Amino acid sequence: MAEGVLFDLAASLIEMLGLWRTTNYSASKTTSKRVICEGKHNLHSLTLQCNILEDNEMAIERLQPPSNLKVLHMSHFEGVRLGGWDSSLNNLVKLELNLCGQCQYLPKLDQLRYLEELRIKWVGAEYMCSSGEDDDFDANLFFPSLVTLQIEDCYNLKWWWWKKEVDGNNIRSFPRLSNLSIYHCSHLTSMPLFPSIENVRLYKTSSMALKDTFKMMRGSKAHNTHPNISLLRSMDIEHCPDLTSLLVEGIDNLPSLRSVSIRHCRNLTSVLEGIDNLPSLESIRIYNCPNLTSLLEGIDNLPSLEFINIADCPNLTSIPDSFRRVGNSTIWGCPKLEQR
Sign, CA torsion 113/118/121/127: positive
Specify the pLDDT at position 54. Answer: 52
Report helix, strand or coil for 305: coil
Per-residue pLDDT of the chain (340 residues; tens, 9 = 90+): 333 333 334 444 444 443 333 222 222 343 434 434 455 667 788 887 776 555 667 666 666 677 788 998 888 888 888 766 666 788 999 999 998 888 888 888 888 899 999 999 999 898 887 644 455 556 567 899 999 999 999 999 988 875 555 444 456 789 999 999 999 998 888 888 888 899 999 999 988 877 767 766 655 554 444 455 788 999 999 999 999 888 655 566 788 999 999 999 999 998 887 676 788 999 999 999 999 998 887 676 788 999 999 999 999 998 888 887 888 989 999 998 865 5
Specify the pLDDT at position 6. Answer: 37
Specify the pLDDT at position 29. Answer: 40
Distance CA 294, CA 269 (A): 7
Would you list the domain boundaries of the chain? 41-130+139-162+172-183, 229-339
**CA distances, 60 to each of 9, 14, 21, 63 (Å):** 17, 10, 15, 5
Distance CA 25, CA 178 (A): 42
Which residues, at least 6 apart from 55, have a Cβ–Cβ distance to it below 8 Å? none
User: Strand pairing of 179-185 and 199-205?
Assistant: parallel
Whether the CB-CB separation of 205 and 183 falls below 8 Å is answered with: yes
Q: Closest Cα partner for 209 from 163, 159, 266?
A: 159
Specify the pLDDT at position 130. Answer: 60
Specify the pLDDT at position 2. Answer: 36
